[in-house]
Amino acid sequence: METFKHKTAFVTGAASGIGLALSKALVAEGANVVMSDINLLNLKTVAAAINAPDKTATVACNVADHTSVMQAADFAMARFGNIHMLFNNAGVSLGGASGKIAAKDWRWIVDINLMGVIYGTEVFLPLMQSHGEGGHIINTASMAGHFTTALMAPYNATKFAVVGYSESIRQELEGSDIGITILCPTWVKSNIYNAPALRPSMDDTDEDFTQTPTYHLSKHLIDNGMSAEDFASLSLGAIRQNRFYVFNDPAARVAIDARRDHILADYDACLAEIKT
- The model's pTM: 0.96
3-state secondary structure of 9: strand
| Reported confidence tier of residue 210, pLDDT bands at 50, 70, 90 | confident
Closest Cα partner for 9 from 192, 181, 167, 162?
181
Domain 8-251, CATH class in plain words: alpha beta
Closest Cα partner for 142 from 38, 246, 233, 28?
246
Q: Amino acid identity of 46? A: V
d(CA 260, CA 254): 10
pLDDT digits 0-9 by tens, 65-84: 999 999 999 999 999 999 99
pLDDT for 275: 77
Active-site option among 155, 193, 215, 267:
155
Q: Amino acid identity of 226? A: M
Closest Cα partner for 75 from 165, 27, 10, 21?
10
pLDDT for 213: 79
Give the up-direction half-sphere exposure of residue 114: CA atoms within 13 A in the CB hemisphere: 19
pLDDT digits 0-9 by tens, 244-266: 999 999 999 999 999 999 999 99
Percentage of the chain beyond pLDDT 90 is: 92
pLDDT for 214: 81
SS3 sequence of 82-109: CCCEEEECCCCCCCCCCCCCCHHHHHHH
Segment 29-39 shows an average pLDDT of 98
Where is 173: in which H helix or E strand?
A: helix 153-173
> Average model confidence (pLDDT) for the chain?
96
270 burial level (CB within 10 Å; 0-12, 13-18, 19+): exposed
d(CA 59, CA 168): 29
- 193 included as an active-site residue: no
d(CA 42, CA 69): 19
| Reported confidence tier of residue 208, pLDDT bands at 50, 70, 90 | confident
* Domain limits, the chain: 8-251
| Reported confidence tier of residue 212, pLDDT bands at 50, 70, 90 | confident
Percentage of the chain beyond pLDDT 70 is: 100
Backbone angles phi, psi at 250, to 5 degrees: -60, -25
pLDDT for 9: 98
Q: Amino acid identity of 275? A: K
Contact indicator for 85, 69 with CB cutoff of 8 Å:
no
pLDDT digits 0-9 by tens, 138-196: 999 999 999 999 999 999 999 999 999 999 999 999 999 999 999 999 999 999 999 99
d(CA 34, CA 76): 6
List CB contacts of 223: < 8 A, sequence separation 6 or more: 189
| Reported confidence tier of residue 276, pLDDT bands at 50, 70, 90 | low
Q: Counting runs of H as helices and runs of E as strands, what totals does the chain give?
A: 9, 7
